[in-house]
């Protein structure tokens, strides 16, 4: 057990987290918008997909599965799925990233902002599915938390993740050009 059974995630905690992520996202998206030029964003397609696959498989998938399996995910997924979910996250989330890259790259302006905001939409979609599976009803840690608060934090949290992936890709892409 990595996370204590006594930990209780409330609606208030989720909303405070959403506010914190929103502030960070505002700064992060503004900065990354200035750093990633539209012509570079267009060239970053496949490196971005690869970084997203690694990020959501390893940094996100395996770490969250390790830290929160007993306290959260074991309540909504069968035990055999514990180490299958992270690679599936990597595949699905990177494919969503590819789709969102395509949508953003076809926009005449604000490609980076659009890409990151679509990441937030992906967070909402995935968390709607998690709520449907019982993520707010079954685990004692989350029982009673507001679905609206959970979806709100998910939106801002995933904008943050998309920014991280874009930043890592930009750093690797920029070094490759030198």
pTM of the prediction? 0.93
As a whole-number percent, the residues of the chain with pLDDT over 70 amount to: 96
Nearest to 52 by CA among 105, 1, 6, 116: 116
pLDDT digits (tens, 9 = 90+) for 124-154: 999 999 999 999 999 999 999 999 999 999 9
Statement: residue 116 has pLDDT above 90:
yes
Q: Which long-range contacts (CB under 8 A, 24 or more apart) does 72-76 make?
A: 72/3, 72/135, 72/139, 72/141, 72/142, 75/134, 75/135, 75/138, 75/139, 76/130, 76/133, 76/134, 76/135, 76/138, 76/139
Mean pLDDT score, 146-172: 97
Residue 26 CA to residue 83 CA, distance in Å, equals 34
What pLDDT shows up at residue 1? Answer: 52
The band of 5, judged by pLDDT with boundaries at 50, 70 and 90, is low
Q: What is the pLDDT of residue 140?
A: 94
Give residue-wise pLDDT tens across range 18-39: 999 999 999 999 999 999 999 9
Averaged pLDDT of the chain: 94
Q: How far apart are CA 31 and CA 160, in angstroms?
A: 12
* pLDDT band, residue 3 (cuts 50/70/90): low
């Amino acid at each position: 057990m990595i996370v204590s059974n006594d930990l209780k995630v409330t609606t208030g905690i989720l909303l405070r987290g959403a506010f914190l992520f929103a502030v960070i996202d505002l700064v992060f998206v503004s900065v990354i918008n200035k750093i990633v030029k539209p012509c570079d964003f267009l060239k970053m397609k496949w490196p971005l997909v690869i970084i997203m696959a690694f990020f959501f498989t390893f940094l996100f998938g395996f770490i969250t599965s390790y830290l929160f399996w007993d306290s959260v995910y074991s309540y909504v997924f069968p035990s055999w799925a514990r180490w299958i979910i992270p690679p599936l996250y990597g595949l699905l989330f990177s494919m969503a990233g590819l789709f969102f890259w395509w949508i953003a790259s076809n926009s005449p302006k604000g490609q980076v902002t659009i890409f990151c905001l679509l990441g937030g939409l992906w967070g909402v979609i995935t968390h709607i599915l998690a709520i449907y599976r019982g993520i707010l009803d079954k685990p004692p840690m989350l029982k009673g938390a507001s679905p609206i608060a959970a979806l709100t934090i998910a939106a801002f949290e995933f904008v943050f993740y998309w920014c991280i992936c874009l930043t890592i890709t930009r750093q690797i892409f920029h070094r490759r050009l030198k």
